[in-house]
């Protein structure tokens, strides 16, 4: 998630929602992180291209199973408890089941965050650990925007496993929803200043993936 932290004070979900109601024009630009209201910056075109490259085929793939891939504007909470202090906005989430009228989700199956240098510590730290504690989540993806790298965390019988995908032919698989995609498709039309050799070899001298 492209964002820059602005700590405005410690607050609960209940207080956070009331703050958002009073600022409707900018309400979609904030999330609640460990009791701090965090203002989100404008995403780059690269960030949005990666989101689109994943979300479009993902939504098509999961719809027959009664699921939806939702981008950007849906917050995630671990509980309906209004005194909790985390309410995040992942770049992509997959939720299964009937649509309801809530403005947040407590039962996502897949989470995708597109990283940038300014958000990497938070996304790989407090937010990752938060997502791991949610019992419905089976897959968590951290997609790097400045290099072709995917970190895929997936639930197993032993807890959580991790795989790192780097090459164009590597395949990201969401077994829980029957979806897979090659890194080449994830990073299609995304330029890199210093492309790894494996990508240059796969695409020649053209660094537009």
Domain definitions of the chain by residue range = 43-203
pLDDT tier at 201, thresholds 50, 70, 90 = low
Q: Nearest-CA neighbor of 57 among 189, 178, 203, 166?
A: 178
Asked whether the beta carbons of 25 and 78 are under 8 A apart, the reply is no
> Cβ neighbours of residue 120 under 8 Å, at least 6 residues apart?
none
| Strand blocks (E) in the chain | 30-33, 36-39, 67-71, 75-76, 92-96, 104-105, 108-115, 139-144, 150-156, 159-165, 171-174, 179-182
The confidence score (pLDDT) of residue 208 equals: 46
Higher-confidence residue of 43 and 152: namely 152
Asked whether the beta carbons of 1 and 40 are under 8 A apart, the reply is yes
Indicate whether 65 pLDDT > 80: yes
The residues facing 105 across adjacent strands are 76
CATH number, span 43-203: 3.90.1570.10
The residues facing 66 across adjacent strands are none
Cα angle: 45, vertex 170, 153; to 5 degrees: 80
| pTM of structure | 0.88
pLDDT in tens, 136-177: 999 999 999 989 999 999 999 989 999 999 999 999 999 999
CA 112 – CA 79 distance, rounded (Å): 20
The confidence score (pLDDT) of residue 97 equals: 94
């Amino acid at each position: 998630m492209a964002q820059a932290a602005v700590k405005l004070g410690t607050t609960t979900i209940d207080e956070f929602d009331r703050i958002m109601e009073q600022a409707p024009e900018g309400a979609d630009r904030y999330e609640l992180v460990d009791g701090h209201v965090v203002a989100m910056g404008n995403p780059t075109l690269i960030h949005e291209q990666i989101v689109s490259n994943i979300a479009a085929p993902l939504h098509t793939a999961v719809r027959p199973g009664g699921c939806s891939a939702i981008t950007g504007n849906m917050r995630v909470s671990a509980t309906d408890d209004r005194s909790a202090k985390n309410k995040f906005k992942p770049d992509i989430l997959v939720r299964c089941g009937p649509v309801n009228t809530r403005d947040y989700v407590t039962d996502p199956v897949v989470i995708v965050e597109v990283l940038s240098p300014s958000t990497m510590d938070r996304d790989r730290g407090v937010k990752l650990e938060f997502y791991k504690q949610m019992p419905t989540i089976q897959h968590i993806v951290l997609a790097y925007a400045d290099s072709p790298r995917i970190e895929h965390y997936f639930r197993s019988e032993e807890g959580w496993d991790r795989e790192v995908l780097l090459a164009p032919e590597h395949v990201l698989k969401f077994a829980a929803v029957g979806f897979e995609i090659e890194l080449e498709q994830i990073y299609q039309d995304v330029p890199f200043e210093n492309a790894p050799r494996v990508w240059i070899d796969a695409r020649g001298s053209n660094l537009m993936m």
